[in-house]
A and B are shown apart, each in its own frame.
Chain A
């Protein structure tokens, strides 16, 4: 049988064709990524005097963590999307995803309706992705990019929001342009740190591109908080002092959000069978978040790939720096080191499009901890880790 799954679903959706038939279309599409990996060489993490091997967190703040035992959980992911075009510019999209890092608990990643006023303006209302990064929109869809996972410098604690988004698309000569305005809020409960939320999200993103060159800029501000922290939510938290910290307001609480601003710049250049991508991101908190002393981070990556037939070898260099300050309640937390943490990594990988709807990928990542000496002395070379991973991405 020649028709592949994607073809079959498109055909199913196109049984009736014509100007009026669009109203009846309901599309079901999905994606699955199955990835296994393990760390090979790792540094030392010191947590409250206890030394352990450093690990690689594929998607924070979940349990998507690789250690030196092979695991298939951290990057394994599925998604199922139902969408329908109701005609006259109105369409609805719902997407349910599950990831190994969250024990495959089903999560509504998208649930929104979109109304196109005309060829230029569209409004999306509901739960949708925050357009933090160049790859944010299709972050979960491994098939859509060359890596197994995008560089961790483009990993956020919150991916989605509930709210409104206006999008204006247009053209300037040969350039396609798109301007997005979005506003809303989000709260997500994490096994690792409790409830995380963003309030009063307000942002804008601008994209312009030709076939060869894509350019993108984004700015966003929001109020951020962490809530409902308890001793059993924080690995390694002191069994006696933990509850005291929780009671003392270890977390920010949603009544007292911290102002956070985020900005990013990205570019992609396609030349011949090669591509070059680069992205710079920076976020800043108005005051240190309680319990962590975290005040913001910044970083970038540069990625180069070259397609030879069905194979795409690629290499990526990325740097991430996080800032910390002692907080007013830092006295409760002897673990804060008020100097930056910094790491850099090199990823070498290969994507093989062995099937029209599936890709096999293999990657080797080596990351070093470039933090200050006092931070490494106190916390260990937390970021130092080498990771090998391989997997298959399928869309259907």
Chain B
């Protein structure tokens, strides 16, 4: 039920974005993990991991999120669609956690190709890339 609501919401948001014609030259966003990661991840799980609320996958293994660099179109899309925040809100969110020692933002590792290469080599990592950049070296767990 929850997941369905979220999916509907995701679809609606994406449809809205497409209608507005504000989508830049990327084909979509794929959330990816290491091929050996067998966890079934909902959009809520992904959001919690990227907001520092959850530090492990449903199977109990460690989860480490990685961000693309600030300003990347894929990142803005991921932040608004999955994390449901805009650029200023996500910065303020991390400032609130950072200066109370409660959490640190995900590490930034460059563009889609860098994220894919890192994730292909580390089962703990989770990231998001341009759908067009997804290949057999990683597993897509969510796409929008």
Contact = CB atoms under 8 A, between A and B. Distances in A.
A176 B53 contact: yes
A353 B118 CA distance: 33
Nearest to A14: B107
B95 A2 contact: no
A29 B94 CA distance: 12
Given A119-B55, A357-B91, A138 B108 contact: no
B53 A169 contact: yes
Contact of A29 (B48, B98, B107): B98
A255 interface: no
Contacts of A129: 100
A361 B72 CA distance: 27
Contacts of A27: 104
Contacts of A357: 91
Contacts, number: 96
Contact of A138 (B53, B96, B122): B96
A19 interface: yes
A248 interface: no
B88 interface: yes
B21 interface: no
A18 B119 CA distance: 10
Interface stretch (A140-148, A191-199, A276-284, A372-380): A140-148
Main secondary structure of the interface of A (DSSP, over half): mixed
Given A13-B107, A174-B2, A356-B70, A95 B88 contact: no
Interface range on chain B (Cβ under 8 Å from partner): 35 or more
B95 A143 contact: yes
A17 B85 CA distance: 26
B109 A144 contact: no
A187 interface: no
Interface in B74-128: 84-88, 91-92, 95-96, 98-102, 104-105, 107-109, 118, 122, 124
26 contacts: A4-B70, A6-B70, A7-B69, A14-B109, A17-B66, A17-B107, A19-B62, A29-B99, A81-B98, A114-B101, A116-B55, A119-B54, A119-B55, A129-B100, A137-B96, A137-B102, A140-B99, A143-B95, A176-B48, A307-B86, A310-B88, A353-B88, A356-B87, A357-B91, A395-B95, A395-B98
Given A95-B99, A137-B100, A173-B2, 10 more contacts: A6-B70, A10-B107, A14-B108, A31-B95, A81-B99, A141-B95, A273-B86, A307-B88, A356-B70, A395-B99
